């Protein structure tokens, strides 16, 4: 959060793509991660507000406003929806707000999911013609290809 606020002070426009709604929902309910799609969607619905409250509090400490955008893949595929969310995203950036984007996990299913937030972030980077895309991850190294499908990556 502090790094994002520092970048904003230097004139950069930043969009944060974040996950965590399902995990926070499970934590709040004191339950293990559900194995069913409906269970994960319910946990996401419980956790998303808590996730945003945490971000709002953290950014408020630095006097930075934030906004939540929950997206689904079909928003990128339907021209009218794409134009609408793109306009909203640009307006938030114009207002000096940091958009915090997550997939709308409470309503998406496996057929219409991005699959992961790295993919969502890539779509967003193209949408806003970003100069940079930084992915913070728990992967230990940089791969030249997907190591799940390329053993020589």
Say which residues have a Cβ less than 8 Å from residue 146's Cβ, sequence separation at least 6.
153
Q: What is the mean pLDDT of the chain?
A: 91
> How confident is the model over 113-131, as a mean pLDDT?
88
- Give per-residue pLDDT as tens, 4-24: 999 999 999 999 999 999 999
- Mean pLDDT over 80-95 rounds to 95
Torsional class of 42: left (φ above 0), alpha (ψ -120 to 50), beta (otherwise): alpha
Residue 83 confidence class, pLDDT cut points 50, 70, 90: very high
Q: Which residue has the tokens 């219409």?
A: 112
Of the chain, the percentage scoring pLDDT greater than 90 comes to 69
Q: What pLDDT was estimated at residue 47?
A: 96
Both tokens assigned to 74? 């079909």
Q: Which CATH architecture has domain 2-127?
A: 3-Layer(aba) Sandwich (3.40)
Sign for the pseudo-dihedral over CA of 56, 71, 19, 40: positive
Report residue 71 as tokens. 């997206």
User: Does pLDDT of 106 surpass 90?
Assistant: no
pTM as predicted: 0.85
């Amino acid at each position: 959060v502090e790094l994002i606020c520092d970048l904003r002070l230097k004139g950069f426009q930043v969009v944060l793509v974040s996950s965590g709604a399902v995990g926070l929902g499970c934590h709040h309910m004191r339950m293990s991660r559900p194995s069913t799609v409906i269970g994960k969607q319910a946990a996401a619905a419980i956790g998303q507000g808590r996730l945003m409250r945490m971000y709002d509090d953290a950014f408020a400490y630095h006097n930075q406003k934030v906004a939540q955008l929950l997206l689904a893949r079909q928003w990128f595929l339907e021209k009218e929806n794409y134009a609408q969310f793109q306009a909203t995203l640009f307006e938030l950036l114009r207002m000096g707000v940091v958009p915090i984007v997550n997939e709308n996990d409470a309503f998406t299913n496996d057929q219409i999911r991005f699959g992961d937030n790295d993919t969502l972030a890539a779509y967003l980077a193209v949408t806003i013609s970003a100069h940079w895309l930084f992915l913070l991850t728990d992967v230990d190294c940089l791969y030249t290809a997907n190591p799940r499908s390329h053993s020589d990556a």
